[in-house]
Amino acid sequence: MTAFVIGQMQIHSRDWMEAYFAKIPDVVAAHQGQFIVRGGDPERLEGEAPLPDAAFIIAFPDRDHARAFWVSDAFQTLAVLRRSGSTLNAVLVDKLP
């Protein structure tokens, strides 16, 4: 069953972004993932939580692929870079049957 990693990011500095965004598509693709959404300029439709600076949705064939991506050395190396200038909230969810 298709699984999605959904993330919301607060950006504190932009120093890491060029290197990170140049590499992350290949790391996602190596785990059969595909960006469905990758962008900024979020608009509030409901709720009170602070708006993120950017959001993304990545589709994977299943949870096993998504988890393998998340714990991979390639992603974790990029995550260290990302954490140097941002904070991320991310969840893993299944597609509805």
* pLDDT tens per residue across span 53-68: 999 999 999 999 999 9
Rounded percentage of the chain residues whose pLDDT exceeds 90: 95
Widest CA span in the chain: 41
Report pLDDT for 92.
98
Tell me the sheet residues that pair with 89.
8
- Quote the strand ranges of the chain, DSSP E: 3-11, 34-40, 54-60, 86-94
> Domains in the chain, ordered, with CATH?
3-40+53-91 (3.30.70.100)
Query: Tokens standing for 18?
Result: 């060029």
Query: Tokens standing for 29?
Result: 């693709």
- Please state the rounded mean pLDDT for residues 69-86: 98
Report pLDDT for 97.
86
pLDDT(82) > 90:
yes
pTM of the model: 0.94
β-pairing, 54-60 vs 34-40, is antiparallel
Q: How many CB atoms lie within 10 A of CB 20?
A: 17
